[in-house]
């Protein structure tokens, strides 16, 4: 192995100095009181080194932990020679909440069998913890808002779907009514044709009667007057029938136009119904996704 002059000059003292200047270090006695603390640790929790000497470990913890069974178990494990490493919350000056990435290390005597003290090395991760917590909170908020919007979307889409369903029923009824109306107009047209045929036949009979009356001479004069009136009435009927036929044809044309339009509307309504149903399903998928996001956000927060 090649040793340079520069590496040979690095001594344990240099290493210890670098650690002291960059890491928060504190040492506790078996009475759980501070026996040593460096400037970095003291500044992290807001005290001076002199203020911290002799301070009990509980004074650096919030009551919910300091007065819990977990606290006693924590120290029992360390005094049994077990190290501890984790992210921890501690109480700084003025009850400030501080988050540390810390390692507690039992200090053994020369025989390596008896714990004579506890050393702790830590890094202040308060800002990082806050940033990550903020991200978790934002995820939870986004999930809640997403779920709320999706639920509102489902509710409105289902209302719209119900409305379209009602319109479809009404449209279906209108279509049936129009179809029945078409049949009725066709029946009327047949009646008009029959009446027209009768009128034509009546006109022809009236004409024949007039001819016969003319042949009868003086005896057929009264009959001729009646025949002329019948003929006149027949002509009027035929004119009225022609007008009725024209009106019915126009009505039939309008009904056909409306019927065609109604069918188009019904097709569009049914197409819209399918699309709204698809939208409802999409919103339900969105709701499911937001629920999964909420679970992920909760897990993310718990991991902190």
CATH code of the domain in which 156 resides: 1.10.287.950
Same domain flag for 63 and 162:
no
Q: What is the pLDDT of residues 107-133, one digit of tens each?
A: 999 999 999 999 999 999 999 888 888
Task: Indicate whether 153 pLDDT > 80.
Answer: no
Residue 132 belongs to some domain of the structure = no
Phi-psi region of 29 (alpha: psi -120 to 50; beta: other; left: phi over 0): beta
Q: Percentage of the chain with pLDDT > 90?
A: 35
Residues constituting the chain = 304
Task: Indicate whether 304 pLDDT > 70.
Answer: no
pTM for the structure as a whole: 0.55
Q: Domains in the chain: how many in total? A: 2
- Classified as helix, coil or strand, 100 is strand
Residue with tokens 């006693």: 72
Residue 134 belongs to some domain of the structure = no
- Position 261 scores a pLDDT of 65
Residue-range definition of the domain harbouring residue 234: 150-303
Question: Which of the two residues, 137 and 90, has the higher pLDDT score?
Answer: 90
Phi, psi of 238 (to 5 degrees): -65, -40
260: CB partners within 8 A, 6+ apart: none
Task: Indicate whether 21 pLDDT > 80.
Answer: yes
For the chain, give the mean pLDDT: 80
**CA 249/CA 227 separation, integer angstroms:** 32
Residue 27 belongs to some domain of the structure = yes
Q: What is the pLDDT of residues 169-179, one digit of tens each?
A: 766 776 776 67
Residue 130 belongs to some domain of the structure = no
Same domain flag for 120 and 194:
no
**Most confident residue range from 22-26, 154-158, 234-238:** 22-26
User: What CATH number is attached to the domain comprising 61?
Assistant: 3.30.450.20
Same domain flag for 163 and 281:
yes
Phi-psi region of 44 (alpha: psi -120 to 50; beta: other; left: phi over 0): alpha
Q: What is the pLDDT of residues 82-94, one digit of tens each?
A: 999 999 999 999 9
159: CB partners within 8 A, 6+ apart: none
Task: Indicate whether 213 pLDDT > 90.
Answer: no
- Position 16 scores a pLDDT of 86
Task: Indicate whether 24 pLDDT > 70.
Answer: yes
Task: Indicate whether 278 pLDDT > 90.
Answer: no
pLDDT category of residue 250 using cuts at 50, 70 and 90: confident
- Position 71 scores a pLDDT of 98
Same domain flag for 154 and 119:
no
User: What are the DSSP calls for 36-91, one per residue?
Assistant: EE-HHHHHHHT--HHHHTT-BGGGGS-HHHHTSHHHHHHHHHHHTT--EEEEEEEE
**CA 232/CA 280 separation, integer angstroms:** 70
Mean per-residue pLDDT, 95-115: 95
Same domain flag for 182 and 115:
no
């Amino acid at each position: 192995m090649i040793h340079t002059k520069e590496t040979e000059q690095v001594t344990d003292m240099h290493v210890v100095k670098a650690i002291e200047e960059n890491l928060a270090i504190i040492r506790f006695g078996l009475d759980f009181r501070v026996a040593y603390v460096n400037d970095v640790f003291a500044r992290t929790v807001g005290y001076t080194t002199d203020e911290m000497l002799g301070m009990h470990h509980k004074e650096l913890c919030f009551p919910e932990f300091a007065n819990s069974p977990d606290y006693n178990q924590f120290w029992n494990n360390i005094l049994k020679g077990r190290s501890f490493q984790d992210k921890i919350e501690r109480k700084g000056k003025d009850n400030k909440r501080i988050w540390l990435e810390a390692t507690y290390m039992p200090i053994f005597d020369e025989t390596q069998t008896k714990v004579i003290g506890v050393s702790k090395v830590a890094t202040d991760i308060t800002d990082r913890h806050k940033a990550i917590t903020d991200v978790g909170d934002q995820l939870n908020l986004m999930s809640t808002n997403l779920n709320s919007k999706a639920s509102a979307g489902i509710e409105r889409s289902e209302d719209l779907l119900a409305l379209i369903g009602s319109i479809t029923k009404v449209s279906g009824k209108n279509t049936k009514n129009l179809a029945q109306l078409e049949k009725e107009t066709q029946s009327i047209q047949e009646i008009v044709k029959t009446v027209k045929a009768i009128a034509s036949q009546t006109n022809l009979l009236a004409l024949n009667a007039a001819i016969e009356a003319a042949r009868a001479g003086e005896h057929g004069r009264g009959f001729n007057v009646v025949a002329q009136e019948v003929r006149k009435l027949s002509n009027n009927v035929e004119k009225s029938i022609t007008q009725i036929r024209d009106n019915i044809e126009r009505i039939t044309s309008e009904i056909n136009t409306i019927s065609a339009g109604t069918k188009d509307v019904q097709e569009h309504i049914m197409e819209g119904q399918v699309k709204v149903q698809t939208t409802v399903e999409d919103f339900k998928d969105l709701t499911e996704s937001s629920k999964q996001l909420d679970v992920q956000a909760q897990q993310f927060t718990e991991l902190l």
